[in-house]
Amino acid sequence: MARKIVIASGKGGVGKTTIAVHIGCYLASRGARVVLCDGDFGLNNADLLLGVESKSAYDVVDVIEGRCRAKQALVRCPQSPNLFLLCSNRSEPERFVSAQSLKIVLEGLSPLFDFILIDAPSGLGDGFHRAASVAEEGLVITTPQVTALRDADKTVSALKNYRLKSVSIIVNRVEGERLVKGEIVSPQQIGELLRVPVFGVVPEIGALGGQGPVRHRAFTTLGKNLLTGEKKLYDPSKKYQGFFGGVRRVMKEFLS
């Protein structure tokens, strides 16, 4: 049976889809069979990031309404043959899909896969409820910004009502240099503030936002933690510490 993990956030644009896609690619590269379920019905962009937007003949609503079987709504990712996207891009955003009907679709796929990652819509509305109801584990994505943290706090509390096996956070877009200078709160402080374990840390990655997924050690660490139960955290400040880190910081300031 697949592990069902919801990837949620209060605030939009903090990196849910980016992190879901990159974790999915890593797990698939290690031989796990992975479904990425685009829970942002009608407004998603996981298909764009994976370059499969024109390849889906059916989507999850077609499955629910009996026009096709669940397997027919899966699109295999060209760069990662063990990774499948369960699209929702053909439905109108306001279309109501119940948690129960999504649960039935995912239960049907579960025996065939190792992981089902559910990329939830931002906020705490119907879409969040649907995604949280079908999951067994929860990852809340936040950035170190105050507005994101406040919304992450609400999301963590909301997820705790779903009796998941675990709820933890991933702190995204952590700028190592600002961390060393003490200009932003550290992931550890965020964990203490929100009273939730920190599952992972992802730095600001310049190469993101281009064509397709990128390779980065922060995503590898996240994926390994999921696969093995390890609790390693990527340290974005490492390259700005010590003598060479100091030189790098001075050079960066000089060039900016």
Q: Can you tell me which of 10, 15, 138, 176 binds ligand ADP, judged by CB under 6 A? A: 15
Closest among 8, 103, 11, 91 to 43, alpha carbons compared: 91
Residue 140 in the binding site for ligand ADP (CB under 6 A): no
Residue 237 in the binding site for ligand ADP (CB under 6 A): no
Strand, helix or coil for residue 81: strand
The residue among 70 and 218 lying less far from ligand ADP, judged by its C-beta, is: 218
Q: Give the DSSP letter string of 188-230.
A: HHHHHHHTS-EEEEEE--TTTTSSS----HHHHHHHHHHHH--
Residues 19-78 that bind ligand ADP (CB under 6 A): 45
Tokens (6 digits) for 140:
């809340």
The residue among 16 and 130 lying less far from Mg ion, judged by its C-beta, is: 16
Which of these segments, 10-18, 79-87, 128-136, 242-250, binds Mg ion (CB under 5 A)?
10-18
The residue among 12 and 78 lying less far from ligand ADP, judged by its C-beta, is: 12
How far, in Å, are 162, 167, 224 from residue 191 at the CA level?
20, 12, 20
The residue among 100 and 147 lying less far from ligand ADP, judged by its C-beta, is: 147
Residue 17 in the binding site for Mg ion (CB under 5 A): yes
CA-to-CA distance for 192 and 2, rounded, in angstroms? 30
Report the partner that residue 14 touches, choosing among ligand ADP, Mg ion, none (CB closer than 5 to 8 A by kind).
ligand ADP
6 near 159, Cβ under 8 Å?
yes
Closest among 207, 205, 211 to 48, alpha carbons compared: 211
CA-to-CA distance for 184 and 194, rounded, in angstroms? 16
The residue among 31 and 125 lying less far from Mg ion, judged by its C-beta, is: 125
Distance of CA 35 to the CA centre of its chain: 13
Residue 17 in the binding site for ligand ADP (CB under 6 A): yes
Report the partner that residue 31 touches, choosing among Mg ion, ligand ADP, none (CB closer than 5 to 8 A by kind).
none
- Cβ 231 to ligand ADP shortest distance, Å: 20
Residue 18 in the binding site for ligand ADP (CB under 6 A): yes
- Cβ 247 to ligand ADP shortest distance, Å: 24
176 near 44, Cβ under 8 Å?
no
Contact residues for ligand ADP, defined by CB under 6 A: 9, 12-18, 45, 122, 172-173, 202, 204-205, 208-209
